[in-house]
C-alpha cells in the first residue's frame, strides 16, 4: 500500500514539474541604461505616469538603491 502511494505521489510530482509554467503575474522587467541628465523621477515619470513616487520606490527597491543617486551608464532593472 505504501509503495503504491509513493509511486503515485512521485508520478504526480513528475507531471506537475513538466507541466508547470511561469504565470507572468509579475510582468516583464525591462533593463534601462541611465543616460546623462536622467533622474529617477524622469525615468519613473516615463514608465509609471499614474504615481511617479511609487515608480521611484519600485525602481529603488528592485535595484537595491540606498538613495536617489544614479550615474550615466548605470544599468537599472525597471519592474
> Is residue 52 a contact partner of residue 58, using CB atoms and an 8 Å limit?
no
Instruction: Return the DSSP state at 30.
Output: E
Q: What is the pLDDT of residue 20?
A: 55
Q: What is the pLDDT of residue 4?
A: 76
pLDDT of 5-53, one tens digit each? 777 766 665 656 655 555 555 666 799 999 999 999 999 999 988 899 9
Q: What is the pTM of this model?
A: 0.64
Tally of domains within the chain? 1
Q: Tell me which residue range forms the domain holding 75.
A: 25-79
CB burial of residue 44 (10 Å; 0-12, 13-18, 19+) = buried
Question: Is the pLDDT reported for residue 65 higher than 80?
Answer: yes
Q: What is the pLDDT of residue 14?
A: 60
Q: What is the CA radius of gyration of the chain?
A: 21
Runs of H (alpha helix) within the chain: 2-19, 40-47, 52-62
Residue that has been written with the C-alpha cell 507531471 in this structure: 15
CATH number of domain containing 37: 3.10.350.10
**Residue 34 included in any domain:** yes
Q: Cell digits for 54?
A: 511609487
Amino acid at each position: 500500500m505504501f509503495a503504491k502511494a509513493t509511486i503515485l505521489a512521485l508520478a504526480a510530482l513528475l507531471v506537475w514539474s513538466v507541466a508547470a509554467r511561469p504565470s507572468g503575474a509579475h510582468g516583464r522587467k525591462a533593463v534601462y541604461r541611465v543616460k546623462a541628465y536622467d533622474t529617477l523621477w524622469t525615468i519613473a515619470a516615463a514608465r509609471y505616469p499614474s504615481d511617479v513616487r511609487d515608480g521611484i520606490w519600485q525602481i529603488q527597491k528592485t535595484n537595491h538603491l540606498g538613495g536617489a543617486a544614479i550615474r550615466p551608464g548605470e544599468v537599472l532593472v525597471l519592474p
